[in-house]
Chain A
Amino acid sequence: MPDANENRVLETELRQVLDFAPQLVAVFGPERKRLYANRPTLDYFGLQLEEWQAISDPFWFFHPDDRERMASDVYTVRASEVAHEFEARMRRHDGEYRWFLFRDNPLRDERGRVTRWYLSATDIEDRKRAEDQLRIAADELQRVMSSVPDSLWSAEIDEQGAWTYRYYSPAVEKITGRPTSFFLQDPSAWFGIVHADDRKRVAIAAERLMSGQVEQAEGEYRIIHSNGEIRWIRDSGVARRQGTRLRIDGVVSDITERKRAEDALLRSEAYLSLAQRLTLTGSFAWDAKGGSDNYWSQEMFRIWDFDPADGVPSPKRSLERVHPEDRDKLKEYLERALSHPLSVTRAKDDRVVFGDGTVRHVPIPKRDSGTPQEVLGSTARRKEQAGSDLGSIDFRLMMPNESLKYVRGIMRPVLDHVGECIQYVGTNVDITEQVRAEEELRASEARFRTLVDHAADSILLRTEDGKLVDVNQNACESLGYTRDELIGMTPRDLVDPSEDPAFFRSVGERLNAGEVFAFESRFRRKDGTVLPVEVRVRPFWQHGQRFFLAIARDITDRKRAEKEREHLRQLEAELAHINRVSIMGEMTASIAHEINQPLSGVVSNGSACLRWLAADTPNLEEAREAARRIVRDGKRAGEIIARIRALVKKAATPMAQLDLNETVAEVLALMADEAKRKGVMIRTEFAEDLATVLGDRVQLQQVVLNIVMNAIEAMSDAPSKQLLITTSNEAIQVRVTVQDRGKGLDPGETEKIFEPFYSTKSGGIGMGLSISRSIVRNHGGNLWATANDTGPGTTLQFTIPQYKEGSIGGS
């Protein structure tokens, strides 16, 4: 135990020690009575000990933000009276607050009561700042990392080869759609998202890196994003050995967009190449400075027939392939092309795309205080000054196999930003087919002209204003004018003045309405004679102008023929009439009987009627019946007479839609008695659904009459007098057959019977069948005879086309 003096010395020494200590130290008595503060403490506050001791507020020095915390902490702790630490800010004498680490230790007496508090405070302001800075730096790094699109990663491989990820930057989530934890938890997770097709490649690269074969590796491969999309990424890694471990740091970048752009470029190149192939257009670029920066597209090689493997042929080699006669022409064109520069195409900002497709930044010359646009404008102006359009040049190539190729070339120099020629660019088009087609067209035109000139009709072409612009040889010959005389004339000059002008006005109106139509007219020749013509006019448009094409046919012969035909037709009608009347004559007895039948009925019924009425009790019912029958029979007689009258009438009946069953049945009604008289049984087999025909009823009935009369006649000596009449539908015709069981015809007779004045009958004039055939043919049908297949006899049959809506009948 040291004595009091010794203690005092020691206390002084301790105080000195405390005064030199870097920490602030203060001693408090119970109840936190301020007993002592060392020099640094007093210096910090800028107080004397007495002043310090006099401070009553225990939190007086603390930062206002810390006071509350201090109050609660310190008081609470004091209550428990144990040693403790805390951090807080204290105000320095100059007003600056600094962070301190406080250590509060109580001293207790033998009874355990706290007699003293020793409080030391260490200035931690600088450490705090460093910590803050570090945290800010780390935050910033984190922010930077999350803002860059690329993801950084770091991995470690231990001596066993186990792969552990140490870090993945958050950007990985944007690239893969998965959080960093996904990859950090499972080292094989990354490999799992690699596209199956690329996995092997990635595995090999990773293996080479891990095994130390390479220190650096990079590759582009596909991964599957969590949303299912395929993403192209570029992954690179650098390996570093750290003792026994290998550390690999890598960067993953999403290059999907770049890949897409590349694909698009590839596609666009493919399309361009295809377009060139399809249009037979090759493109090329020549280095103006004689360098090797030459380009020929694939199609160029194909057109010129050079092997792309040999590279772009030299100008000399190319020129040798040009047809000798065209070489000078081509050289001259190339020289001219020099004065027709091609302006560059402006892109964004100060970048421009040059004719060769390269993109360069154009520095704006200092002396030229203009924008890039203005600089380029000056080039464009220069081009304009160069004047007229250069156009293209057509030349021929002599191919190795001696065939000729026609090529159309266009070439322009490309200037750089200062107007200096750097390149010639251009295209070559294989126009062989076109040239051939044009030649063919010219030949075809010549042929066509010959054709038109030699046409049997006059062809006249006029414009809308009425002036003739072209005529053919025939028009000149038939009108008696020369071609030059005709061109410029109007159709009105050619038409006979006696023609109705009103008609021509209507013709004009109809033509203007775009109608195509034909009419008959008369032309007046140069010598004044008149020419009957049939004119067919059609308007048409060509190159926005309307033309009228008139084809005029000389119908002098036709008119004459028409007259003759008309005359013949009348003769024929006369003959047909005579024939009908004569048949009727032959049938007189039958007809008389036919009328006699109803007449007898009338007489009998009349008598009966009178008698019924005259009876003692008149039988009115019977009388009425009899009277009714008189009316009926009278009508019947009238009908027979009407039928006969129709047949012997001379006037032609109009063409009408006819049911041949009905038409034939009417004739048979007339002939029933004739047949009966001759002992002939007439049987009919009529098609129920027989199509109608367009015809002259009387004429067709005459045909049936002739045929049936002949058939009855033919059977006069036959043992079985049966006549079968059938009607049937053919494909587009209606057929009527009349089959007799007569003696039949000799093989040579089947055609002869249709000749005029040929008759097998003793009393016939031999016109019946001839007229019948003429009638049938005028109806567009045919009439012929055949021997019966089975048994004796002849079959006569005729066909008439079926009626169709809108069809125009024969004759």
Chain B
Amino acid sequence: MSRHAELGLTDSEYERIVALMGREPNGVELAMFSLMWSEHCGYKHSRKLLETLPTDGPRVVMGPGENAGAVDVGGGLACAFKVESHNHPSAVEPFQGAATGVGGILRDVFAVGARPIAVLDSLRFGEPGESARSRYLLDRAVAGIGHYGNSIGVATVGGEIYFESAYEQNCLVNAMCLGLIETEKLIRSAAAGVGNVVVLFGARTGRDGIGGASVLASAELGEEDSGKRPTVQIGDPFEEAKLLECSLELLDRELLVALQDLGAAGLTSSSAEMAAKGGVGLDVDVATVPLREAGMEPFEIMISESQERMLCVAEPERVQDVLDVCAKWEVNATPIGVVTGTGRLRVLAGGDVVGDLPVGALVDECPAYDLEPAPPTRALYPAPERALEDDADPDETLLALLGSANLASRRPVFEQYDCIVGSRTARRPEQADAAVLTLGSDGNGARRPALAVSIDGNGRRAAVDPYRGAVEAVLECSANLACVGAEPLGLTNCLNFGNPEKPHIAWQLSRAVAGLGDACRALGIPVVGGNVSLYNEGGGGPILPTPVVGIVGQLPDAARAGRIGFAHEGDAVGLIAASGWAPALAGSELAKLRGAAPAGELPAADLGELRALHAAVRQAVRSGALRSVHDVAEGGLAVALAECCVAGGLGAEVTVDTTEEALFGEGPGAFVVTGARDAFAAFGAAAAVIGIVGGDELRIAGALSLAVSRLADVHAGGLSALLDQA
């Protein structure tokens, strides 16, 4: 195998590099190209699709392309946020893989100057009931997320977990972070000012994570992946805690020209991207980089993915101040280079030039491929094992759904996360459909508007129909925000798919991005950043196509944010539904329990009507007219009603259509609300009073009757039983 092929470059890519360089690259240069032109850094197979997403909006202050996107949240403040994947590292070593996933997304956010205030996680594993490995991955990934997020003192306020056999070999760990910053202090990563000094600060550079972006993140997982453990980075949240405070103090004292975190491809990508954005060159001397072990080769230093490192540019007269701040925080800091006007990234080792590359070739000339999408000609995903008979009665069906791994309470997981540090969390997990964060008071003592955030995606529904599945992910997230009274400001996404060089995966990816774009345009939500994770395939085939979206929204008053739980005996129960709401069993949790493969047709969504419906729910919540609000999602109306009962510790008696589609079918466009009987008038024809809150049973006339305590037990036990076996 040729050297470039071992590093993951094709022959034609290698030829392109030679043409751009005007000569054969040496080993250092080739290693750097292999990472910058990897899928993970170069977005070779997704760039053209991503360019179709809407990115403009009145509140956008920083769009895609920077370390994180940002939206204006009023009062001179911006919220920076982004979601990123750490899938392959987590499949190989779940604790460190998930921990460093959190560490990486935190750095992306504080690299723009924002103080991280919240983390959310979207996780996917194989079937925990069948697979000891999946239980192990779940247990260790959750522990890793908690270890990092808890230790650094950033609240983990939300997330989601789903289990499907298609994730058995290739679990997904997507982490999202939000940060706050005064808008005028947002810092970009463009290096500028010939003669300015490049300072590397944070942890020492070691041999961990060598080639992570190309070897792990941009290739399918195979049998020998335990041998790839050395490519997984090791996280140290204490180092990151110091790095965070140090970076924010450097920015606060206005000592920096530019700041960039070291993530995938380490020093190579951070220096190349800073230079490319500033239209300048950089000289970097690897001999000055503090190392964990002696004898590291220049190429290793340039591509190491050792964690907890940052790169900054400062004017020469400020360098001593920079070093002093770093010393205060006990953070290593070393000038390692200078900004030049050459447009070249030169790698020096003492006096020797060991690499000399045009920055543009590294960053901007990475080829962008057209996909060759074709719908799959056969079913891609096998049917799951049957867990429920078709003739099970509604009681049994509801209990089976509520206790299933996908719908059971996430308490055993989220209790392992600190959800309150920062004293901002006004709605904690399971209290409401979205997390709500208060932002304190402004300079005049007036309470600022609050933020809400949710992260959503459903691979099984995207497997049935990648376009509608992606649309539904945006709708679900928007609906969750509506339930707390929040208006969406911006969206970040993580596109988790299989190998895009295969036509059927290319088709899934293209359709999903089309759906994402259409939904965002229709709902008026700009995309401010995101991440793509491709090649998620193990021996068992591709993962379910999994577009995950995170939306940040705003509400005027956190005290009025909606809650899930039924709150008051005698309240009317209302069903707020779009006229086209047509829940169906295709792709539903019930279909899964019955052993159906993801197939069929998802209900269409009238995006214009749903936008108006979400706005109406939002307004009703803001007015304080509703005592509880919950959107109807996985498991359908019956599960939504049960969740409201369990969260509030109160029963209800309702009369609804009792077909199984009406009770357990899924499709976007419905909410369960409670309040005074006249509280639903504002919804007009969209509202129907379906019952009354009270008692200690959930009774659905003509269908089922179950004690709330039984519902609560089944809901509480579904996941904890599995975790305890891990």
| Chain B binds chain A | no
Residues of B within 8 A of A (CB): none
**Chain A contact residues, CB within 8 Å of chain B:** none
